[in-house]
């Protein structure tokens, strides 16, 4: 019996191999086989169409904030959590360079342009700056961004454990401790998404779709850049010939200061610590009829 099955297996194997071999050879010949050495890591051989495409892509590639490989491929775990759960992705922090001159003012800054960067809509940024009093200091918003990013990462890991448990029959996810910790935390979201996403070929699609949404949200939060005291729409992008790259600039007088007035905390800071900023504002923007003295001085 075993020999009969083995002969059937060998016959099927030979049939599949002999049938598929010429098909793959024809496809490979279209891609340069046998002269093609493989994937063009650094441009490949001349004469193949993908070489020029790859070179053009590398010239225009500006997604530098997300690159952790190979520059950081030799990172070692720094704490117990990274030893147990691996080195998870961390949110991106953009290096902003602040500068001062007579044309752009005291609050101008710039940073390197990237395809991955994401800004808040102007209306949301205006709400945060005016009604949440986060005009200059971005520390609170940055902390909130990092906490939200970490919360999504924790949920992503819990959801992954919940899916794995469903495939291991030794675990009953609806027993006491598992139902309390995992099921109540993630199943209600799964059921909500499952009602909106239909099955495909009898397979539930809520798992890949929902995990894709979670990953996209996490990456968007990671690439989010706050622009206080400016609105995102006030940005200016230009090519810096000296550095050979594109940069995003925020400079001059912020629009929200003209619309709502300069925050009293900033005006008080000028009077108590930075009289040079007050003198510059008084000389440059006197025609705007904006209060430059703090409220304590105006009473």
How does the average pLDDT of the chain come out, rounded? 75
Contacts of 138 (CB under 8 A, 6+ apart): 226, 228
* Residue 258 confidence class, pLDDT cut points 50, 70, 90: confident
Q: In this predicted model, what pLDDT tens digit does every residue of 46-56 receive, in sequence order?
A: 444 445 554 55
Q: In this predicted model, what pLDDT tens digit does every residue of 275-296 receive, in sequence order?
A: 888 888 888 888 888 888 887 7
pLDDT of residue 65: 44
Distance spanning both ends of the chain, measured CA to CA: 103
**pTM score, two decimals?**
0.63
Across 16-43, average pLDDT? 76
Better-predicted residue by pLDDT, 216 or 168 = 216
Task: Judge contact between 229 and 129, C-beta under 8 A.
Answer: yes
pLDDT of residue 50: 47
Separation of alpha carbons 289 and 160, rounded Å: 58
pLDDT of residue 206: 74
Contacts of 109 (CB under 8 A, 6+ apart): 96, 97, 98, 99, 249, 250, 251
Separation of alpha carbons 185 and 159, rounded Å: 9
pLDDT of residue 264: 83
pLDDT of residue 136: 47
Better-predicted residue by pLDDT, 73 or 259 = 259
């Amino acid at each position: 019996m075993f020999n009969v099955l083995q002969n059937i297996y060998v016959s099927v194997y030979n049939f599949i191999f002999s049938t598929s071999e010429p098909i793959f050879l024809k496809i490979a010949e279209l891609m340069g086989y046998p002269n093609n050495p493989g994937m063009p890591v650094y441009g490949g051989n001349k004469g193949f169409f993908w070489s020029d495409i790859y070179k053009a892509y590398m010239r225009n590639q500006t997604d530098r904030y997300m690159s952790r490989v190979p520059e950081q491929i030799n990172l070692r775990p720094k704490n117990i959590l990274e030893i147990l759960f691996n080195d998870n992705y961390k949110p991106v922090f953009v290096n902003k360079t602040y500068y001062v001159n007579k044309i752009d003012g005291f609050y101008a800054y710039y940073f390197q342009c990237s395809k991955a960067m994401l800004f808040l809509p102007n209306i949301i940024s205006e709400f945060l700056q005016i009604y949440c009093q986060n005009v200059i200091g971005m520390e609170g918003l940055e902390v909130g961004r990092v906490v939200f990013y970490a919360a999504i990462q924790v949920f992503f890991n819990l959801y992954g454990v919940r899916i794995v448990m469903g495939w291991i029959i030794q675990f009953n996810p609806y027993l006491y401790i598992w139902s309390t910790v995992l099921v109540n935390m993630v199943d209600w979201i799964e059921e909500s998404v499952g009602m909106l996403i239909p099955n495909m070929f009898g397979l539930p699609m809520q798992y890949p779709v929902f995990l894709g949404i979670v990953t996209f949200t996490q990456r968007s939060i990671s690439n989010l850049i706050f622009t206080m005291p400016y609105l995102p729409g006030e940005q200016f992008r230009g090519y810096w010939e000296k550095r050979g790259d594109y940069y995003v600039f925020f400079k001059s007088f912020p629009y929200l200061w003209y619309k709502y007035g300069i925050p009293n905390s900033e005006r008080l800071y000028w009077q108590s610590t930075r009289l040079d900023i007050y003198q510059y504002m008084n000389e440059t923007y006197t025609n705007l009829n904006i209060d430059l003295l703090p409220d304590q001085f105006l009473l």
